[in-house]
Amino acid sequence: MYLIAGLGNPGREYEMTRHNIGFEVIDYISDNLGVKVKKLKFKGLYEKTSMCGEDVILLKPQTFMNLSGDSIRDFAAFYKIPPEKIIIISDDISLDQGRIRIRKGGSAGGHNGLKSIIYQLNSDQFIRVRVGVGKKEHESQDLADFVLSRFTKEQIPVLEKAIINAEGAIKEIITNNTESAMNKYNGK
């Protein structure tokens, strides 16, 4: 069984913001699988389903970004899912908008959601699918303001392509392995 968690902040005011790209990917996957991620458990909205012949849990933690690890820890413990079978989808400001990068293990890279997950799992060995949301428009712009800003109408097609690629990468991880997904999707 895999736990696939998209990171974001709950609430309408955060919909379609850069920080919520993980929620967007989970919504896209769930739509394609014909399921709704709406059951509430362990501070998260989730649905158990099947993807590529494997049992999966799709999860959107509802704790705000910097406490994402609380929900993920509880799901992992309850369903006995090791870190190596946890896939986290998050935004990344160091990647060009629309690019994705898959990685297994490593630091949080300054991302508060990833920091929380590493702390709560006491491991950094989970799989990350990071989606590039671009860089701040100018150096003086507050980082929080930037990641909580919405995508422009012109940026939506790039965002949609990234979401499709993120789903493809997750399917590749489940079907083959992380390395295969990295070879096929890193930089796309």
- pLDDT tens by residue, 102-156: 999 988 887 889 999 999 999 999 999 999 876 656 666 555 555 555 566 776 7
Beta pairing, strands 86-92 & 2-6: parallel
Mean pLDDT score, 97-101: 90
Distance CA 88, CA 106 (A): 13
Is residue 84 pLDDT above 60, yes or no? yes
The percent of residues in the chain predicted with pLDDT above 90, rounded, is 67
Residue by residue, what is the 3-state secondary structure of the chain?
Answer: CEEEEECCCCCHHHCCEHHHHHHHHHHHHHHHHCCCCCEEECCEEEEEEEECCEEEEEEEECCCHHHHHHHHHHHHHHHCCCHHHEEEEEEECCCCCCCEEEEECCCCCCCHHHHHHHHHHCCCCCEEEEEECCCCCCCCCCHHHHHCCECCHHHHHHHHHHHHHHHHHHHHHHHCCHHHHHHHHCCC
Please report the pLDDT score of residue 11 as a whole number.
84
List Cβ neighbours of 46 (8 Å cut-off, separation of 6 or more). Answer: 37, 39, 40, 57, 58, 59, 60, 75
Give the CA dihedral 133, 137, 140, 145, nearest 10 degrees.
Answer: -50
Mean pLDDT score, 165-174: 97
Has 19 been annotated as catalytic? Answer: yes
Is residue 62 pLDDT above 60, yes or no? yes
Please report the pLDDT score of residue 76 as a whole number.
98
Q: Which is higher by pLDDT, 5 or 12?
A: 5
Query: Residues 44, 75: contact at Cβ < 8 Å?
Result: yes
Distance CA 57, CA 178 (A): 18
Instruction: Say how many Å lie between the first and final Cα of the chain, rounded.
Output: 27
Please report the pLDDT score of residue 98 as a whole number.
86
Q: Could you say which of 19, 60, 85, 104 is catalytic?
A: 19
The percent of residues in the chain predicted with pLDDT above 70, rounded, is 88
